[in-house]
């Protein structure tokens, strides 16, 4: 089905554990018989939760997801480290230091807020020299990785257990079970993290543990939201299949392109403004027509006609008459 003439919109999938993000795309292509689709940000194979899939013209909007807030609930495992910084990898080392207390962990976690420099996990899709890091790791090649700036907006400690038997922490299919006799008691913290800029929860776990004088890796991870898309709106792959069997069309399943603007800086257009944008012209509007907030040169504003996304605009200052100047970056409708 053509990406220009076919249905366009977003599908929020609750990705299960055990398959890759591309496996989700592959299965949806088979079910929906649409080729042009992609996702807004990879979830590792063991992770679950929100995977926003864009269909046809929606794929043109993925660049605007980079600034969206993303929320996660994850398990921080303390007392051991692995090659992948999660429980899917091989055992690297076991900590010889006493496990941190709940109070120590909470105090250190609180320090990891704001702008941070993170080194991505060795087994990740981050590219160096045009090649994914996991490919270097699989080949046993060392490569210099530059830190990446991310933002942790907030983190909340939900639960903390210490002195746990490793068999009560490790996954049933984990290769770590082969060396379970080498692993001592572990601690497990359940944490909710709100971040931006591609925060690696695996790296966060590793770094918090290191600063506590311990070792750490990530257990289960669930992404709860990506910008305006949340688990409340998510469907499992089997839900999609069931809806199609019941006679639903692709259009019935999709959220409109305008869904990207929920809770974001947006502007409702009149007929004249719609026409101007569709002709490639910029528009001006009173400052009060935009949501409250501060706007800087080049900031994104989504332009809507009802729920239809007409264009993605850029803020270009205020005229002497007090009108906001907006120029089209991308016209979609």
| CATH number of 292's domain | 2.30.130
Considering the domain architecture, whether residues 102 and 40 belong to the same structural domain is answered as no
Last residue of a domain, one of 220, 242, 273: 220
Does 130 reside within a domain? yes
* Cα angle, residue 15 at apex, residues 59 and 114 outer, rounded to 5°: 75
Cα distances (angstroms) measured from residue 314 to each of 98, 240, 319: 53, 35, 15
Tokens for 254, please give them: 């999709």
Instruction: Answer whether 182's CB lies under 8 Å from 91's CB.
Output: yes
Mean pLDDT for all residues in the chain: 92
Considering the domain architecture, whether residues 207 and 240 belong to the same structural domain is answered as no
Residues labelled as active-site residues: 44
C-alpha to C-alpha distance for 239 and 235, rounded to whole angstroms: 6
Considering the domain architecture, whether residues 284 and 325 belong to the same structural domain is answered as yes
Considering the domain architecture, whether residues 81 and 209 belong to the same structural domain is answered as yes
**280 DSSP 8-state letter:** T
Following CA atoms 213, 169, 45, 43 in sequence, which dihedral angle do they give, to the nearest 10 degrees?
Answer: -60
Does 2 reside within a domain? no
Considering the domain architecture, whether residues 84 and 56 belong to the same structural domain is answered as no
Considering the domain architecture, whether residues 204 and 232 belong to the same structural domain is answered as no
Does 3 reside within a domain? no
What is the per-residue pLDDT for 5? Answer: 64
Alpha helices in the chain (DSSP H): 21-32, 102-111, 133-138, 201-211, 237-245, 250-253, 271-278
Tokens for 315, please give them: 């803020």
Q: Write out the H or E segment, with its range, that includes residue 219.
A: strand 216-226
Tokens for 198, please give them: 């591609």
The sign of the dihedral angle between the CA atoms of 17, 20, 26, 28 is: positive
> Full-prediction pTM beyond 0.95?
no
Considering the domain architecture, whether residues 206 and 294 belong to the same structural domain is answered as no
Last residue of a domain, one of 220, 246, 273: 220
Does 4 reside within a domain? no
DSSP structure string for 110-147: HHS-EEEEEPPPSSSS-EETTEEHHHHHHTT-------
Q: Which residues contact 203 (CB under 8 A, 6 or more apart)?
A: 85, 118, 119, 120, 121
Does 244 reside within a domain? yes
Tokens for 164, please give them: 């746990």
C-alpha to C-alpha distance for 326 and 16, rounded to whole angstroms: 41
Considering the domain architecture, whether residues 120 and 205 belong to the same structural domain is answered as yes
What is the per-residue pLDDT for 67? Answer: 85
Considering the domain architecture, whether residues 216 and 86 belong to the same structural domain is answered as yes
| CATH number of 155's domain | 3.30.2350.10
Considering the domain architecture, whether residues 82 and 143 belong to the same structural domain is answered as yes
Does 195 reside within a domain? yes
Considering the domain architecture, whether residues 244 and 213 belong to the same structural domain is answered as no
Span 61-113, pLDDT tens digits: 999 998 899 999 999 999 999 999 999 999 999 999 999 999 999 999 999 99
Instruction: Answer whether 90's CB lies under 8 Å from 175's CB.
Output: yes
Cα distances (angstroms) measured from residue 126 to each of 137, 200, 264: 12, 11, 27
Considering the domain architecture, whether residues 25 and 115 belong to the same structural domain is answered as no
Instruction: Answer whether 297's CB lies under 8 Å from 329's CB.
Output: no
Does 184 reside within a domain? yes
C-alpha to C-alpha distance for 81 and 93, rounded to whole angstroms: 5
C-alpha to C-alpha distance for 20 and 47, rounded to whole angstroms: 9
Q: What is the total count of domains within the chain?
A: 3
Tokens for 102, please give them: 């709940």
Q: Which residues of the chain have pLDDT under 70?
A: 1-5, 123-124, 133-134, 136-138
Last residue of a domain, one of 236, 259, 282: 259
**166 DSSP 8-state letter:** G
Does 1 reside within a domain? no
Domain that holds residue 308: 265-331
């Amino acid at each position: 089905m053509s990406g220009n003439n076919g249905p366009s919109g977003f599908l929020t999938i609750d990705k299960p554990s055990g398959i890759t993000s591309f496996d989700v795309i592959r299965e949806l292509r088979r079910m929906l018989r649409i080729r042009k689709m992609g996702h807004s940000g990879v979830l590792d194979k063991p992770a679950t939760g929100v995977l926003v899939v864009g269909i046809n013209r929606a794929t043109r909007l993925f660049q605007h997801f980079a600034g969206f807030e993303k929320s996660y609930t994850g398990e921080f495992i303390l007392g051991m480290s692995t090659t992948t910084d999660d429980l899917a990898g091989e055992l690297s080392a076991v900590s010889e230091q006493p496990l941190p207390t709940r109070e120590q962990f909470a105090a250190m976690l609180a320090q990891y807020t704001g702008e941070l420099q993170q080194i991505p996990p060795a087994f990740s899709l981050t590219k160096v020299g045009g090649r994914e890091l996991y490919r270097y790791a699989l080949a046993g090649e060392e490569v210099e990785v530059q830190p990446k700036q991310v933002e942790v907006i907030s983190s909340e400690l939900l639960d903390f257990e210490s002195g746990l038997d490793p068999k009560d922490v490790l996954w049933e299919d984990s290769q770590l079970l082969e060396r379970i006799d080498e692993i001592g008691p572990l601690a497990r913290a359940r944490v909710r993290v709100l971040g931006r800029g591609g925060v690696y929860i695996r790296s966060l776990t590793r770094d918090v543990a290191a600063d506590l004088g311990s070792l750490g890796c990530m257990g289960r991870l669930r992404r709860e939201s990506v910008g305006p898309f949340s688990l409340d709106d998510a469907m499992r792959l089997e839900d999609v299949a069931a809806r199609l069997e019941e006679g639903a069309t692709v259009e019935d399943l999709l959220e409109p392109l305008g869904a990207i603007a929920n809770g974001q800086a947006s502007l409702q257009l009149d007929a004249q403004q719609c026409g101007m944008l569709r002709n490639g012209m910029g528009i001006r509007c009173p400052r009060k027509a935009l949501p409250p907030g501060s706007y800087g040169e080049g900031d994104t504003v989504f332009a809507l006609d009802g729920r239809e996304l007409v264009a993605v605009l850029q803020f270009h200052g205020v005229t002497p008459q007090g009108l906001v100047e907006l120029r089209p970056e991308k016209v979609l409708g």
